[in-house]
Amino acid sequence: MDAKQVIESLRAKGKATTAAIYRRHGATGEVLGVSYADMGALVKKLGTNHELALELWKSGVHEARIVALKIADGAALTRTQVEAWIKDSTNHVLGDAISEAAAKTKDAATLARSWMEAKSDAVSSTGWTLMARLATAGQISVTDAAKFLDRVRATIHSAQNRTRHAMNSVMIAIGGSMAQLRAQALVAAKAVGRVDVDHGDTACETPDAHAYIQKMAARAVGKLAKPAPKVATPAAAAKRGKAKPVTKPVATRKRT
């Protein structure tokens, strides 16, 4: 399938009600309203196709860009390309998907650190979300992770809106995935307390990091039957039309 055929396929699956949900979560431009189940099936069919990903991104269609980010080849994705994508990103759902694609590149840690310092809330939150992904995957050192916990504890309440949400995700990712730092993460989470984030016209909530880390720790040692939860992302929220920190980290949803 070429880019035109992919977009036609997506357009055929679109629903106005789903598009409205995505818009409430920040999607802009042309939004078709294709479910994440349908997008996932298409991604599976397409497989990794970097050239197609680049063409789909150019379309500007929200769902086409989500698909593009999922079929992009991390080994072929250059820093220049991913930097251009984040400049084009218009909402936190795309930002989360960009962080997922960026996590597959050799420049992931460098990109995360750079974006975290951005003045733009959208870019900064994507950087912190990417760092949460790296923490969950064990791709940052204990020393660096400890420094991030100290930074979150000291600055989260003065950070911008979506960045607060993503910083909370980093705290959860470190505490839930790095046993060596769990005690420090719990202390930091307790000190931080409630993190207020404006999630717009949705039922999304930013989770209590202290409670979330405890649940992840319990599941990690087999105290609970269910598998350890993923740190919720904006994309995960939009998938269900509800919201939830990454393992993706973070908003937990009740309803939309």
Identify the burial level of 67 via C-beta atoms within 10 angstroms of its C-beta, where 0-12 means exposed, 13-18 middle and 19 or more buried: buried
Interacting residues of 29 by C-beta distance below 8 A, sequence separation 6+: 60, 61, 62, 90
% of the chain at pLDDT higher than 90: 77
Q: Give the Cβ contact number of residue 110 at 10 Å.
A: 12
Identify the burial level of 26 via C-beta atoms within 10 angstroms of its C-beta, where 0-12 means exposed, 13-18 middle and 19 or more buried: buried
Locus of tokens 């999607």: 27
Residue 237 confidence class, pLDDT cut points 50, 70, 90? low
The Cα–Cα gap between 16 and 27 comes to 13
pLDDT beyond 60 at 16: yes
Average pLDDT (22-31) is: 92
Asked if 19 and 35 touch (Cβ cutoff 8 Å), the reply is no
pLDDT beyond 90 at 98: yes
Q: Which residues of 89-109 are buried (b: 16+ CB within 10 A; e: fewer)?
A: bebbbbbbbbbbbbbebeebb
Residue 254 confidence class, pLDDT cut points 50, 70, 90? very low
Comparing C-alpha atoms, which of 205, 250, 214 is closest to residue 95? 250
The Cα–Cα gap between 124 and 178 comes to 23
Locus of tokens 């106005």: 16
Residue 229: DSSP 8-state:
P
Average pLDDT (228-245) is: 54
Residue 119: DSSP 8-state:
S
Helix H, strand E, coil C: the string for 32-78 is CCCCHHHHHHHHHHHCCCHHHHHHHHHHCCHHHHHHHHHHCCCCCCC
Q: Which residues of 171-187 are buried (b: 16+ CB within 10 A; e: fewer)?
A: bbbbbbbbeebbebbbe
The Cα–Cα gap between 151 and 148 comes to 5
If one compares 3 and 92, the residue with the highest pLDDT of the two is: 3
Asked if 195 and 156 touch (Cβ cutoff 8 Å), the reply is yes
Average pLDDT (27-50) is: 96
Residue 236 confidence class, pLDDT cut points 50, 70, 90? low
Mean pLDDT, the chain, rounded, equals 89
